[in-house]
Amino acid sequence: MIESLGCLKRIEYFYPTLKSAEKKAADYILKNPQNVVHFSITELAENCGVSETTIFRLCNKLGYKGYQELKINLAAEIVEPLKNIYEEIKENDDMRTIMQKLLTSNIQSLETTIMLNSSETLEKAIDMICKAKKLLFLEWVVLVVLPLMHIINFCELELTASFMEILICK
């Protein structure tokens, strides 16, 4: 039953069983869900006036494996559902329709990436990509990784790239 509840409903459900510090964090999440999806665990803890350990304990009590899982579920709950962004490309679609479907999918992938990750996390990912000797691209990551490559000026990097999904090999 609890697995079927959204993040905010889980907080309300478990609220009476939470310790005072966990309640502070829960109150903050309930009042500021749009902000929380952009915060690292450290930022959330600071905004709530609690420790990172308290945030992690709250996540566990809510049935999540960690803070990232809480953020993903919270984001899924608060983000307005879009029409099917991963629309299937059909055989009879003209080139303009195919391009529009790909553009819409790429935009949503980037927005989700930005929403679910802090600037610090994205900077670390870009740093790892820049320091990698070899990149391997697999199909499902191409929609997110290729736009990031423009940020780090992929063309200037002396890397061997195979297209299918990114694996960073040191």
Q: What mean pLDDT is reported for the chain?
A: 78
In the chain, the amino acid numbered 111 is: E
Q: What is the pLDDT at residue 102?
A: 79
Residue 136 has pLDDT above 90, yes or no: no
Q: What is the pLDDT at residue 115?
A: 74
Position with higher pLDDT, 140 vs 137: 137
Contact 71, 116 (CB under 8 A): yes
Q: What is the pLDDT at residue 133?
A: 82
Residue 85 has pLDDT above 50, yes or no: no
Q: What is the pLDDT at residue 137?
A: 60
Q: Please report, rounded to a whole number, the percentage of residues in the chain having pLDDT higher than 70.
A: 74
Position with higher pLDDT, 127 vs 67: 67
How large is the average pLDDT for residues 128-134? Answer: 85
Which pTM value belongs to this model? 0.51
Position with higher pLDDT, 160 vs 86: 86
Q: What is the pLDDT at residue 60?
A: 95
Going from the C-alpha of 83 to that of each of 17, 57, 104, 105, 141, the distances in angstroms are: 38, 35, 10, 11, 21
For the record, the structure tokens of 123 come out as 């900077």
